[in-house]
Each structure stands twice: as structure tokens, then as C-alpha cells.
Amino acid sequence: MPVDAISLEVFKNLFAAVAEEMGVTLRRASFSPNIRERLDFSCAVFDAEARMIAQAAHIPVHLGSMPASVAAAVAEFEEFFPGDLVALNDPYRGGTHLPDITMISPIFAGGDLRYFVASRAHHADVGGMTPGSAPLSTELYQEGIIIPPVKLRLSGWMNDGAMDLIVANSRNPAERVGDLEAQMAAHRIGEERLLDMMVEHGVETTIEHAAALLDYSRRMTQAIIASIPDGVYRFSDAMEGDGQAEFEIPIQAQVEVRGEEMTVDFSGSAPQAPGNVNAVPAIVRSATWYCVRTLAEEDIPVNHGCFQPVDVITPAGSFLNPRFPAAVVVGNTETSQRIVDTVLGALAQALPELVPAASLGTMNNFAVGGFDGERQFVYYETLGGGHGASSQGDGLSGRHCHMTNTLNTPVEALEYSLPMRVLRYHLRDGSGGAGQHRGGDGITREYELLAPATITINSERRLRAPYGINGGEPGARGVNTIVCGGVAAIVGGKHSAHIQPGDRVIIETPGGGGWGGN
């Protein structure tokens, strides 16, 4: 089959369908609300050289960083065999943060390695200082079990020792087994579908079209960059603390556009932080590539080709390229969002009519765990908020955005699974920034605990409001409140506490910035 526009479109959808069906399988087979309801997982297909060919429409921060995990697995093992499956979560070897466990499986045809399929799922607990594995940590060891690339399955045989070790480090071992087996089920589906493709269309034809897809995405990304006026654009923003103290942690981005190529240099950003906001380079690259892709007017296949025209510089020893064993658990969730705000702020100088105002700029992480008298429970979720307005109209309200593509957990699912009640859950009216187009509103969510528990909140935009653009007003800052014994206290953006039955946690998420003066 010759590679032409029609066949390329067919294979683009064939490869993407493999990743999508893997995701459907993972969701249906999973045990935890975090994966089953929030869809906190991602799936992708890679070629034999560990280049991403296709992804499902899952989570940007996972998918842009997953190639580093596949590359780490390939570098670790000199040889793969049919039936192998590698697991890892080490952020310094391609991971993002420890709760995100990545699996990679090789696909063989005609005796040769042809493809890999990969999945990444956020597991509600992998050990560490506090339930939910999102502590106010100062080193990686406090965040949970560290899994280097290890073959969880060897030629089809389970490595029961490795599986037992991972599960034993979770506060909810039965749930971990269920979610890990759900990932493995997704890989079996991915392998079957890719083998079916190669049988139906031929091995060489699938390989030729995979290579053509990479080239197509590269050329489309180059066209996007070429549409940006050449120049150097700078913007700075800051994190609001690292879980140890509240202080500004600057992010500086210099975006240089030269024809069809772009360099994004984060030199001048803050040095490595003592606390948990450090972000490994894979996350920084992922967030930067995401910003470039949002400029596309057409649906560009996200694959290795998209990444080639964009060079990302992260100085060693900065909090965007920390040295092991720096704490990194919310670098994945919070710092990634601020990187997006910073890069888009720079691009807005070149494309003021195209780039939106800042969205909520945080994933509003909430982790809780304890013992209800019969069982140990653990839960983790993120909350949406307001999107930034743009020249096209008002921002969306109560939605996740940018580096997270998850859902808000339904109240029914949460209350069914955990000793908790949700007393309030509604849009935070008026929290979007004013302007010619208003920013979207945030969310108010109030929880009541029915058993003693430890809670941890990791959030941002509690001190620095999401910025408006072109004269638009900033969105409202978020607010975290804990009510203990009937006494309400506003706490910082990053806070951990032991609370009792009847105590309440209220999270009010930020609104998006406005666009244009009134």
C-alpha cells in the first residue's frame, strides 16, 4: 500500500484506536475511583526505536513524558522477549511522580521486535509519609516505593516477587492488585490489536505508515512555529511555596522562534527547592510541547514528530531539573501547570489574539486516608476550576485544563467507596476574572470525614491569582479551609493534618483570568 493522504489518515486512526481501546479496557477493569471515575491514566503506542507513534486522548502530562519511561526501559534491558512487561515509576528514570506507575510491553512479529505499547496510571497509594502518596516531602524516599525498570512479566511468566513487593508498599493492597492487573489487561488488548493490524495490512506497510505519521506531525508542528513571528519572548511567573514554607519560586521562560524551530530556555528559574515542587525534565518538556500543540488549528497527531522542532533547556540543579533524590511529587501536578502559564504568557506577546488568559493553574490535589474500624482506606483526587477567557469567548467553568485531562469524581462514587460525605459541590459564582470575555468559575467542594483520617492538600494559586490578558482582570484565588471541632481555619496551599469524624475540608478552586478590557 503506498503512503498517501488517505492511507495516512487511515493508519493515524488505526494506531490511535489501539491506544483508545487500551484505555477503555484499563478503565473497565480498574478497581480505584481515581482510575475508574476520574480517568487518571494514559495509553500510547511506540515503535521499536521507542518513538511514540500514537496516543489516546488522555492526560497531557503523562503522554508528553511517557517517551522518557519507554526509553529508560529500553536502555535498561539489552533484550526483550514476547510476553515481557516492564514496570517503573522512578521520576529520575523517565517517570513523573511515584504514584504514576508505567508499564511497557514489546510487540513482536516475524520474530522481530516491531512496537511497544505503554500505559501510565495514577495509583491512589504507593506508600510514603502520608496516605495518597502526595506528602509534604523533602526527599523522594518519603513519597513512596521507588520502582526502577523491572520486568514484572518475563516471557509471559509473572514475577510474583516484584508484584508482591509493590503491593506490600501500598496502604490498600487489594486495590493495587486490581489496578495493576487492569493495566496488564490493557496491554494484552494493545498487543492483540497491533498484531491484527500487521496481519491485515502487512508488517512493512504498518512500519512505513508509522514513520510517515512521525514526519507528518513534524511538518505540521513546524508550520505552527513558522506562523509565529520570529523573535524572543520572555515571561515569568512563580510557585507559591514547596510544602515547607510559603515563598516565591520563580519560573522564567525565554521563547525564541526562528523560522520553523523554537527554543524554550528556562535558565534563570529558581534553584532546586527543599520541598515537593521540583519537576523532572520530562515534565518540563511535556508541558512545553503541550503549549505549542494548543496553537494548532487542526488536529495534529501527537507523536515523536511533534517534539522534534521544539528544544527545551532546563539548567541542572534548578527546580526544573533537580538532582536525585529531590522531592518531586507535585512537580508533576502543580509545577507543570505553572510551566504552561509561563510559556503561554510568553507566546501571548507574539499571538495576543490567539493565546488565552491564565486558567486555574493548579490541580487542587486532595489526598485522604485512614482506618474506619474495619478497613484501611485511601483516596486521591484533583479538582477542576475556571478556564481562562480568550478572544473567542468566555472561559469554561468547573473543568480540568491543560496538563490534566481527568474528570471530577462523582459524589456518588466517592461516598460509596469511602467513609466520607460531600456536603457541598457547586460552581464558585463570580470567581472568573472580568473582561470583555469573562474567565470561567472555579468549584467549591466540601467534604465531611466519617472516620479519623490524615488529609493532604497540594494546591497553587492561593496567593498569586491567575492572570488576565489584554486588559482582562485576574481570576479569584483559591481558598482551603479546615473545620475542626466547629472552628474554621484557612490553611495554606500545601497542608497536611490529622482530622476526626465530623471535621470538614472545604476546597474553593481558582477562577480563570479574563480577556480584554470592558
Check pLDDT > 90 for residue 365. Answer: yes
Q: Which residue has the cell 456536603?
A: 423
Q: Is the peptide bond before 33 cis (omega within 30 degrees of 0)?
A: no
Distance CA 442, CA 506 (A): 13
Burial (0-12, 13-18, 19+ Cβ within 10 Å), 146: buried
The pLDDT, as a whole number, for residue 94 is 86
* Domain annotation covers residue 320: no
> For 305-359, how does the pLDDT look when each residue is reduced to its tens digit (9 = 90+)?
998 999 999 999 999 999 999 999 999 999 999 999 999 999 999 999 999 999 9
Q: pLDDT of 220-262, one tens digit each?
A: 999 999 999 999 999 999 999 999 999 999 999 999 999 999 9
pLDDT, position 373: 82
In the predicted model, what is the mean pLDDT of residues 459-485? 97
Please state, in angstroms and rounded to a whole number, the distance separating the CA atoms of residues 39 and 406. 5
Q: Which amino acid, one-letter code, is at 274?
A: P
Provide the pLDDT confidence category of residue 218 given band limits of 50, 70 and 90.
very high
Residue 358: what are its φ and ψ, rounded to 5°?
A: -65, 140
* 371 lies in some domain: yes
In a domain? residue 240:
no
For residue 234, being part of any structural domain is answered with no
Q: Is residue 146 part of a domain?
A: yes
Buried-state track 110-124, b at ≥16 Cβ within 10 A, e below 16: eeebbbbbbbbbbbb
Would the pLDDT of 407 be above 90?
no
d(CA 447, CA 423): 6
Question: What is the residue range of 18's domain?
Answer: 5-218
Q: For 82-91, how does the pLDDT look when each residue is reduced to its tens digit (9 = 90+)?
A: 999 999 999 9
Higher-scoring residue by pLDDT: 425, 59: 425
User: Of 218, 235, 250, which one is at a domain's C-terminal end?
Assistant: 218
Cell numbers at residue 375, please? 478497613
Q: How far apart are the C-alpha atoms of 372 and 419, rounded to whole Å?
A: 7
Distance between CA 368 and CA 124 in Å, rounded? 10
Lowest mean pLDDT segment, chosen from 32-36, 189-193, 287-291, 430-434: 32-36
Q: Which stretch of DSSP H or E encloses residue 300?
A: none
Question: What is the structure's pLDDT at 65?
Answer: 79
For residue 183, is pLDDT > 80?
Answer: yes
Phi–psi pair at 304, nearest 5 degrees = -55, -35
Domain boundary among 218, 242, 266: 218
Residue-level pLDDT at 1: 66
Judged against a pLDDT cut of 80, whether residue 57 lies above it is answered with no
- Binned at pLDDT 50, 70 and 90, residue 412 comes out as very high
Mean pLDDT (whole number) for 404-417: 87
Report how far residue 185's alpha carbon sits from residue 167's, in angstroms, rounded to the nearest whole number: 17
Residue 296 covered by a domain: no
- Whether the CB-CB separation of 335 and 239 falls below 8 Å is answered with yes
Residue written as grid cell 533524590: 325
Asked whether the whole model's pTM tops 0.85, one would answer yes
Q: Is residue 275 in some structural domain?
A: no
pLDDT over 70 (residue 58): no
Note the pLDDT tens digit of each residue in 382-393. 999 999 999 999
In a domain? residue 342: no
Among residues 172, 193, 218, which one ends one of the domains?
218
Beta bridge partners, 151, equal 86
What phi and psi values does residue 514 have, to the nearest 5 degrees? -85, 165
Count: domains in the chain: 2
At residue 301, the pLDDT reads 86
Report how far apart, in Å, the C-alpha atoms of 125 and of each of 86, 128, 185 are: 20, 8, 20
Q: Tell me the pLDDT tens digit for each residue of 1-48.
A: 678 899 999 999 999 999 999 999 999 999 998 899 888 899 999 999
Question: Are 81 and 154 in contact, with CB atoms under 8 Å apart?
Answer: yes
Whether omega before 325 lies within 30 degrees of 0, making that bond cis, reads yes
Check if the beta carbon of residue 303 is closer than 8 Å to that of residue 293.
no
CA distance 75 to 90: 14
Residue 297 has pLDDT above 90, yes or no: no
Cα 370 to Cα 447: distance, rounded to the nearest angstrom: 15
